[in-house]
Amino acid sequence: MSINNYEKIPGESAEELYENAPCGYLSFVGDGTVVKINKTLLSWLNYEKEEVLFVKKIQSILSIGGRIFFETHFFPLIRMQGFVKEINFDLVRKDKSPLPVLLNVNEVAGPEGNQKVYRATIFDITDRKKYEKELMAARKKAEGAASAKAEFLATISHEIRTPLNAVIGIANLIQKTPLNDQQKEYARILKLSSDGLLGLVNDILDFSKIEKGKIKLEEKSFVLKDVVHMVVSTLAVKAGEKNIDLQLDMDSNLPATLLGDPLKLNQILTNLIGNAIKFTREGFVKLVISLLEKEGSKALLQFRVIDTGIGIPEDKLEAIFEEFSQASYEINLGYGGTGLGLTISQKLLQLHGSHMEVASESGKGSEFSFSISYKISGEKPKAEVEENPAIYRRKLESAKVLVVDDTPVNITIILEYLKEWNVACKSAGNGVEALELVSGNEFDLILMDLQMPEMNGYEATEAIRRLDLTKQPAIIALSASARGDISEKLRISGFNDYVPKPFDPADLYKVLISHIGNIENEAKQDFSVALSQEEPESKEGDRLAELIAEPFDLSYYVKVTKKKEASLEEILFKTIKAFEEYKDQFSAAIDEKDTGKLAGLVHKSKMTIHYIQAKKLDKVVQEARELVDNEENDAELIEEKLKELQTEFQVVIEGLKSVRVNDLISKSN
């Protein structure tokens, strides 16, 4: 058959191809009037040709939102550049049902030369939308499953840590009692096993927090040498038990003090060195720290952990960074562990903008290395404990400590430690009991559990900070939750420090010692952001003075939160909630002419009103109290003052609700 015969195949004319194309075609003029449309598009829309041509405008077959977008953005863009490609629109069929499409439009010369015609190519994306919806549902389901897994891991880990606190505590106490050789061995195994279990739980908890994006880097001044020596000293015992030589090699020109997150660095190094010791039978483990470059106030440091251990096969090098994975099943059986240490370390390095590299040969050892860029700090960190520990030990022995926990076993363990350190102590089973004891006794330190019935640790601490005490105690949180999850809440509530459960007695002792030396000033430190008894200062200069505006002044909040957005939002929320409660409570007390209740409310609200310098509100509160106290004042006068008080409270509440934290911070800069 000749070429000419193929050219004459029926249905292959240009017009027929246009009419029956798998996509829709439509042409319109400047006002949107449709001048041409193919059969394909007409069938999609269920229109006849005479119902559309020179009758409808393209805008009329678009959804309402599509019409607005067409007029304001789409058509002006076509006129400006002559074309627009792949814009998503919903067309409206004759029966008013939507048809999702992709629209491509080109500007072409019209039949009369000066008239513009716009030719649209239209693709039906109904199936694509359906698949996208299914993919989004699958993604949402997968994300939900991942979130549920992380939540489950965090919850179960937290629940395990609480009874584990008792196990480890009892194991420590047993080892301090007279034991025969067999009992000593049992106690040693109990302690070793419980410490191992705690390590596994901590790994799972850390991993779940990272998965949920709850771990963030802090920036504070630290001495690199102190952090490194702490890690090496801690792990030297394990290395010594296996007769492994644990070595440290630090460049002599390393900056002494850095700005960064020492806890995360400690965790990474502990994981790497701990792994190296675990997988090394003989030889050495060596930590090498080098200064790669120094530019201005920044230093790039390289950390290398080298061992003479069992090594890693080349085909397993990537797998070791996968969660819950180890080089082989045999490795897991022989050495144990969750397989999370390297995964956690790698993710922590990613927060630093870095990553871990590994070089290894099976049977000959491994080298793990990473680099972190730190700012160089000129500030020397405050020492936690002075060089003469005897002074602090004597101060601790003279201190009075209150232990607050709803679990009797926990109280027993902590009291045992305190008695061992010759510390005078009392205990309470919840926040209500703690508040009663603090009101009638003078304590130097309070160890406060967070999760308790009746009144939890946060509420109890806030209530204590509101008490008019001769001396505010240092309040240290005890919790099975990780500090990173609750640090801001601790700060807002007025805590001075935190000890995780289960705790090592040495860690508890260290925290107590670190606070004993300056107990008189503890309530004025950073943790007591919102509830300290410190008077707001007016020495912040003109920048904070700009924040002063009736009916309140938030410059004190800006100062004590150190311009941290999350802290400011939290303290504003609590203040609004407090004022809403005060408004109702004052109204009821005045209406009932209950002078006792009113006096209590004036005292209770005093510091909150004082913190935001709500002078007019303070004045009205005092006037209302005086009116109620004076029996000669008539009901009408009291009613007027009540309305004034309600109005002023509402003015402050609405004003606080309208505050934009970002604006507040930017005005103070």
pLDDT in tens, 89-130: 889 899 989 899 988 898 887 776 667 888 999 999 888 888
Q: What is the DSSP letter of 387?
A: S
Alpha helices of 327-407 — where are they, by DSSP H?
329-335, 341-351, 389-397
Cβ–Cβ < 8 Å for 615, 663: no
Cβ–Cβ < 8 Å for 361, 311: yes
Which of the two residues, 157 and 417, has the higher pLDDT score? 417
Model confidence at 176: pLDDT above 60: yes
Please tell me the predicted confidence (pLDDT) of residue 383.
46
Considering the chain, what is the average pLDDT of its residues?
A: 77
Lowest mean pLDDT across 121-130, 310-319, 494-503:
310-319
* pLDDT > 70 in the chain, percent: 76
Please tell me the predicted confidence (pLDDT) of residue 445.
92
Query: Taking residues 294-303, what's their average pLDDT?
Result: 90
Region at 422 (left for phi over 0; alpha for psi -120 to 50; beta for the rest): left
Please tell me the predicted confidence (pLDDT) of residue 550.
52
Each residue's pLDDT tens digit, 228-260: 887 887 678 778 888 889 999 998 889 989 999
Burial 563-599 (b: 16+ CB within 10 A, else e): ebeebbebbbebbbeebeebbebbbebbeeeeeebbe
Model confidence at 286: pLDDT above 90: yes
Model confidence at 197: pLDDT above 50: yes
Which of the two residues, 27 and 141, has the higher pLDDT score? 27
C-alpha span between 211 and 366 (Å, rounded): 28
Please tell me the predicted confidence (pLDDT) of residue 524.
36
Please tell me the predicted confidence (pLDDT) of residue 609.
79
Which of the two residues, 503 and 491, has the higher pLDDT score? 491
C-alpha span between 534 and 528 (Å, rounded): 9
Phi, psi of 607 (to 5 degrees): -70, -35
Cβ–Cβ < 8 Å for 102, 125: yes
Query: Taking residues 452-463, what's their average pLDDT?
Result: 88
Model confidence at 303: pLDDT above 90: yes
Please tell me the predicted confidence (pLDDT) of residue 304.
94
Q: Which positions ≥6 away from 285 have C-beta within 8 Å?
A: 239, 244, 245, 246, 247, 273, 276, 277, 305, 306, 307, 308, 309
Model confidence at 485: pLDDT above 90: no
Confidence band for 413, pLDDT divided at 50, 70 and 90: confident
Query: Taking residues 22-41, what's their average pLDDT?
Result: 90
Please tell me the predicted confidence (pLDDT) of residue 568.
72
Lowest mean pLDDT across 190-194, 221-225, 318-322, 516-520:
516-520
Q: Which positions ≥6 away from 581 have C-beta within 8 Å?
A: none
C-alpha span between 570 and 568 (Å, rounded): 5
Residue among 552, 200, 192, 517 nearest 385 (CA):
517
Please tell me the predicted confidence (pLDDT) of residue 114.
66
Please tell me the predicted confidence (pLDDT) of residue 373.
93
Amino acid at 410: N
Residue among 476, 487, 485, 559 nearest 220 (CA):
487
Which of the two residues, 191 and 102, has the higher pLDDT score? 102
Lowest mean pLDDT across 141-145, 202-206, 277-281, 650-654:
202-206
C-alpha span between 273 and 588 (Å, rounded): 64
Model confidence at 533: pLDDT above 70: no
Token pair for 494: 């007025």
Each residue's pLDDT tens digit, 374-404: 998 876 554 444 444 556 677 778 889 999 9
Each residue's pLDDT tens digit, 602-653: 766 766 777 687 888 888 888 877 777 776 666 777 777 778 888 888 888 8
Please tell me the predicted confidence (pLDDT) of residue 329.
38
Q: What is the C-alpha end-to-end distance of the chain, expressed in Å? A: 85
Amino acid at 206: D
Token pair for 38: 């193919």
Please tell me the predicted confidence (pLDDT) of residue 44.
92
Which of the two residues, 556 and 309, has the higher pLDDT score? 309
Which of the two residues, 202 and 618, has the higher pLDDT score? 618
Lowest mean pLDDT across 89-98, 331-340, 497-506:
331-340
Range ranked top by mean pLDDT from 147-151, 211-215, 620-624 = 620-624
